[in-house]
Amino acid sequence: MGRPKKERHKKGKKRKPPKPRLSDSADRYALYQQAVQSPPADIEFFTRVFADLRGRTPIRLREDFCGTALMSCEWVGSDPTRRAIGVDLDAPTLARSWDLNQSRLSDAERRRLSLVCADVRDLAETRADMTCAMNFSFCVFKQRPELLRYFEVAFHGLADEGVFVCELYGGTEAIIEFEEEREVDGFTFRWQQETYNPISNETLCHIHFDMADGSKIKRAFTYDWRLWTVPEVREILEEAGFASSRVFWEQVDDDGDGTGEYTATDVEENQEGWLVYIVAAK
């Protein structure tokens, strides 16, 4: 066997630059929004639930853990009287909000939006009609006193008729090491539960994006969470001062596929994976 040949470059001949990969230019926040968020459906749900509870439409939204504030931007665009305040502690994430979402708002819409870079537990006086904590973000609080403190702040940040909404996931596949993927327009969204500890209910999860040219954005986002159970969340909400809470479960069609319709319920069969809205009223 001869020695491996050295790569020779002929004088004057330029090496071809490597072909750009889609993963180099893709914006992980834009991919996240496309794959994970659907504010129009959430806003329709918030409006219906609030109207059922209070007999009017909600005007002021507080979006906790807002990230790029997609929801807040949709909210101010959904009604000319609506206002939104988005809260996130990560300044670089908030900064992406401009290009991705705020830039397409009118001046009038933008005037009804404010973003605050802060810990959600440090912002009390917001007098919101609704506060939302989407995509399981509150699971970042792993100790009961921490979560109770957050729910207390959420309670005090609401107006008298205020309503708090959060999302939670669970099911038999939520408590194992697990990976699933979903095709989105032009890329694949991969959700990985790397670890789950049954002693603490802590789970370490990642989002990866696989691009159409085979390039990848590995660990685009990582979440180190405690997977709270529905009764724990409801008990802590009550302890924080909320008068009542309801669980809204997604309805399925005859083939067992989710319909996108959520209804309040007290009894359900466990599933491999479920996602609920928990709605708490002052």
Ligand X SMILES: C[S@@+](CC[C@H](N)C(=O)[O-])C[C@H]1O[C@@H](n2cnc3c(N)ncnc32)[C@H](O)[C@@H]1O
For ligand X, the binding residues (CB under 6 A) are: 36-37, 65-67, 87-90, 93, 119-120, 134-135, 137, 140
Pairing of strands 128-133, 113-117: unpaired
Q: Toward ligand X, which CB reaches closer, 67 or 162? A: 67
| Residue 221: its H or E element | strand 216-226
Give me the least distance between CB of 227 and ligand X, in Å please.
Answer: 14
Give me the least distance between CB of 58 and ligand X, in Å please.
Answer: 18
Give me the least distance between CB of 159 and ligand X, in Å please.
Answer: 21
CA 138 from centre of chain: 10
Give me the least distance between CB of 32 and ligand X, in Å please.
Answer: 7
Q: Toward ligand X, which CB reaches closer, 38 or 215? A: 38
Q: Toward ligand X, which CB reaches closer, 139 or 280? A: 139
What lies within 8 Å, CB to CB, of 250 at 6+ separation is: 258, 259, 260, 261, 262, 274, 275, 276
Tell me the backbone φ, ψ of residue 29, rounded to 5 degrees: -70, -40
CA distance 64 to 120: 6
CA distance 132 to 149: 16
CA distance 256 to 252: 5
Q: Toward ligand X, which CB reaches closer, 90 or 177? A: 90
Give me the least distance between CB of 231 and ligand X, in Å please.
Answer: 23
Q: Report the residue number whose CB is nearest to ligand X.
A: 67
Query: % helix / strand / coil in the chain, to the nearest 5?
Result: 30, 35, 35
Q: Toward ligand X, which CB reaches closer, 161 or 276? A: 276
Number of residues assigned to the chain: 282
Give me the least distance between CB of 102 and ligand X, in Å please.
Answer: 14
Q: Toward ligand X, which CB reaches closer, 54 or 123? A: 123
CB 271 within 8 A of CB 240: no
